[in-house]
Structure 1
Amino acid sequence: MPGPKPEPVESDSQLPARADVVIIGGGIAGVSTALELAERGLKVAICEKGKIGAEQSSRNWGWVRLSHRDPREMPLMVESVRIWKGLEQRISARTGYDQCGVVFTSADNTALEEEREWVDDLQEYQIPAKMLGRDEALGRFPGLDINIRGAMMNPHDGRAEPQLAAPAIARAVQALGGTVHQDCAVRVLETAAGRVSGVVTEKGRIACDAVLVAGGVWSRLFLDNMGIYLPQLRTKNTVMRTSPVPDGPQETLKFKEFAMRRRADGGYTIASAAASSYQLTPDSFRLMRAFLPTLRNEWRSLSLSIGPSFLEGLRTPRRWGPDDITPFETNRILDPEPDTAMIDKVFAFVQSAYPAFRDAEIVQRWAGYIDVLPDVIPVISGTEGVKGGMPGLFVSTGYSGHGFGLGPGAGRLGADLILGSTPIVDPKPFRLHRFTDGSKIAPMAGILRR
């Protein structure tokens, strides 16, 4: 069963000879940055090795949440929600955004106290999250029978449609004079006088003044070919969608066994709220030292295994030039096999606990790869001061499962950095050189489970 199909975007017929900025990657972060730049009058070209939004930007849960955010991400997420609210009007297209609220249930007193702490943290941003007692929480989901002690409800959390959002933004970039080039991998950068001067794609050259690498799980491979260090690994998450559920809830729900949110088509996206799957790769060993703090905090939230990913990593070329076929051209779209047994077990639990879902059917199952950095927050940064970096080269990647909601805000911050404008938030937490300047690198405990 193939992965979800994002709305199609028509590629521009010819590469431009020149652009102000080339965006490498057509996911939510890349197209959002392109939109910001195009609205400010720059000529932008988006180069995507596959299709716009075809990897994790269309495979995620579709949550746009302020809750359970790393404090370092929180200012950017607040700005991102502000952008989401006006995005459909701004681009004259549907993204499916709805500030529906999310209910985070707690199965024991320890988890309940953690949710109380989240409520307190959110007050700093004037976000009216509140605690619910057991009966009040379950009363929002008539018929649901799960064992909980209570819940946190945040009415400012929301959802959007992953298969709609990135394509809609890309088409808006085209309407502003930008160009989109799919099945068009960037092979290498060109430089002049120590700074970016262009890119060489499989279809030809584009001269430019700046490049943004927003390649998701592919970003490490691209940057490594240039000698730039990015400690990035990937985890796999399996998701499913159901047929329409007429009496299903409007609010998004998270329980220790599952997470669900209503879709625009009346069905539901459902995923496990338990461990993510991680197959060891050669990079697991190359980056073991960088990820030790992450593993100490997060080992319970990962299901480790050895499988095809290890051999795939061994076979993947790590060096190439402008005339070589690159790994981005031999694997256009990552479409990993879903964990069918696991997700079917999750759905069986939902059906047994929630009568509204007993007649629902599984319409589709899929999996996607999430790009993860050691501190589980992204890089949105220039590369000057980093070995192999240079003026004009920027990076936006490593969103660690938080990228869909952060995408519009990340796009604005990325555009600010590229233009040298006053950044929308302090960019220091997202700098690339935090991994090499002696900074302490550690995730907020438990963040991968949320």
Structure 2
Amino acid sequence: MECVVIGGGIIGTSTALELAERGLRVALCEKGGIGQEQSSRNWGWVRISRRDPREVPLMAEALRLWARLSERTGRDTGYARAGIVFTCADDKEYDQHERWGRHLQDYQLESRMIGAGELRNLLPGSNLEVKGALYTPADGRAEPQKAAPAIAEAARDRGAAILTECAVRGVETTNGAVSGVVTERGFIACKAVVLAGGAWSNLFCGTLGLDLPQLKVINTVLRTTPVENGPDQAVWANNFAIRKRQDGGYTVASSMSNLVDIVPNSFRYARDFLPAWKTEWRSLQFRLGGRFLDEARMPTRWAMDEASPFEYCRVLDPKPTKKSSERVLANARKAFPVLEKAEVAQRWAGYIDVTPDAVPVISAVDDVPGFHVATGFSGHGFGIGPAAGRLMADIVTGRQPIVDPRDFRWSRFSDGSKVAPITGL
């Protein structure tokens, strides 16, 4: 093989597809099944609106890729260009959203501020009491349970080896450079490795002596049974977020609340994440529980001929918090009475991997030639996934990158750069 991709989420599968389409011999190794962790547990939003400005150029490319992704893969991804509405409760939020809109001035993408009257016309039957909204018709939605598997199958069609229940235990190097990977099924020789391991990336990087500042947050989501005459656009408000599903139901989640398990790495990276915690503390609920001991007991080193933690835990499957999801659903029903007819069909939760600046790493790692990382998407990975895969493939193959990758470089954590979220977007 010329390249091994570690991780079968939307980032890993998109990277594998791009490399296979360029004629490279590529294997994707996934410890569980394709898209079984956060890539199938997210909201399904495909948005450029309200993103960190550093992600906007890459997301603009992603919107173009999503538009023909079902055709390209030959499979249904559930993609629809339906628009997204970010409501503004007051003048301050309206001004913030209006300022953010300037980041799209260089792109031919429809996005505009609308007042309360136009919002009522856009969302008939709603009871939203807000100043207005940022409305981006160019945004869309897709089905998380369908997208990553469709991309993986398309990569297989083009010659990639898709290996599930095949955990990579570690990377072998020769003279300091990548020479292969050891999996639970055996050795695969290769010259390049792409780690797209999501919430597992920090642990894996540690096996190479690399320090990736990364923590996890938990978001609880539910889906409803189908209802008629609900909003076609995805809607974000201060106390809920909803997205119409392909089956006519809705994905409902909290727009402003995430659960954070206190674990050993919380203390290890406390200084790195302090700027983010200062700006996001209102949306974070910290919890000390069994996860602390689980991660404290988890080995950080192991022999290549013995089972790794990736084999003992194939899928991260946190328990959803029913109380909070009920509160969020009640808020959504108050804003959209049509949802009173909808029943809860399923609840789930997922681990979101985050970096100190809430921006991903999409980069080669100079300390280990041939090793690359595409992770830390901080809850923004699903929508940007196809373009992130293309950028990662550009870096691996040495092509001119589709966007400037500087903001996503690995070295920003050690080169003296200020690493923090951009506030006041």
Counterpart for residue 148 of structure 2: 166
Residue pair 2:320, 2:349 contacting (<8 A) in 1 also: yes
Query: 2: distance between equivalents of 1:135 and 1:415?
Result: 45
1:84-142, Cα deviation, whole Å (9 max, x unpaired)? 11111111111111110011111111111111112222223232211111121122222
> Which residue number in structure 2 is paired with residue 266 of structure 1?
248
- 1:423 match: secondary structure: coil
The match for 1:357 is: 339
Could you tell me which residue of structure 2 aligns to residue 436 of structure 1?
Answer: 414
2:295 is the alignment partner of 1:317: no
Aligned counterparts of 1:350 and 1:379: Cα–Cα separation in 2:
34
Which region of structure 1 is more displaced relative to structure 2, 73-82 or 288-297?
288-297
Once the two structures are superposed, residues 410-433 of structure 1 have per-residue CA deviations (whole angstroms, 9 ceiling, x without a partner) of 000000110111111111111111
Render the CA deviation track for 1:148-185: whole Å, top value 9, x for unaligned.
11111101111111000000000011111111111110
**Residue aligning to 1:407:** 385
Identity %: 53
- In the TM superposition, residue 313 of structure 1 has moved relative to its aligned partner by 1.1
Task: Work out the CA distance in 1 between the residues paired with 2:291 and 2:385.
Answer: 27
Number of the residue aligned with 2:369: 391
Q: 1:135 aligns with which of 89, 105, 117?
A: 117
**TM-score after normalising by structure 2:** 0.98
Question: Is 1:178 the equivalent of 2:198?
Answer: no
Structure 1: any 5+ residue segments left out of the alignment? 1-18
Could you list the per-position Cα deviations for residues 330-386 of structure 1 after superposition, in whole angstroms to 9, with x for gaps in the alignment? 1100110001100011112222332211111000000000000001100000111xx
Please, what TM-score do these two structures have when normalized by structure 1?
0.93
Whether the 8 Å CA contact 2:96–2:424 is kept in 1: the answer is no
Secondary structure, aligned partner of 2:53: coil
Q: Structure 1: which amino acid aligns with 2:313?
A: N
Counterpart position of 1:445: 423
1:314-393 mapped onto 2 (5 Å cutoff): 314-384=296-366, 389-393=367-371
- Map residues 12-411 of structure 1 onto 2, 5 A cutoff: 19-384=1-366, 389-411=367-389
- Conserved in 2, the CA contact under 8 Å of 1:84 and 1:408? yes
What code does the residue aligned with 2:199 have?
A: V
Give, in angstroms, the shift of residue 279 of structure 1: 1.2
> Is the Cα–Cα contact under 8 Å of residues 196 and 211 in structure 1 kept in the other structure?
yes
2:64 counterpart SS class:
helix
Q: Is the 8 A contact 2:11 2:196 kept in 1?
A: yes
Q: CA deviation at 1:258?
A: 0.7
| Aligned CA-pair RMSD | 1.1
Counterpart code for 1:358: E
Q: Secondary structure at the match of 1:254?
A: strand
Q: Distance in 2 between matches of 1:187 and 1:426?
A: 32
**Cα distance in structure 2, aligned partners of 1:426 and 1:350:** 39
Instruction: Show the counterpart of 2:397.
Output: 419
| Paired AA for residue 433 in structure 1 | S
Q: How far off its partner does 1:247 sit?
A: 1.2
Aligned residues: 425
- Secondary structure of residue in 1 paired with 2:358: coil
User: Where does the alignment leave 5 or more consecutive residues of structure 2 unmatched?
Assistant: none
- The CA distance in 2 between the partners of 1:120 and 1:391, in whole Å, is 39
Q: Distance in 2 between matches of 1:198 and 1:121?
A: 42
- The Cα of 1:446 is off from its aligned counterpart by 6.4
- Deviation digits for residues 277-297 of structure 1, max 9, x if unmatched? 111110000111111121222
- Which residue identity lines up with residue 357 of structure 1 in the other structure? L
Distance 2:255 2:327 in 1: 12
Relative to structure 1, the CA distance from residue 446 to residue 258 in structure 2 (aligned partners, 3 Å threshold; closer, same or farther) is farther
Residue 12 of structure 1 corresponds to which residue in structure 2? none
**2:382 is aligned with what amino acid?**
F
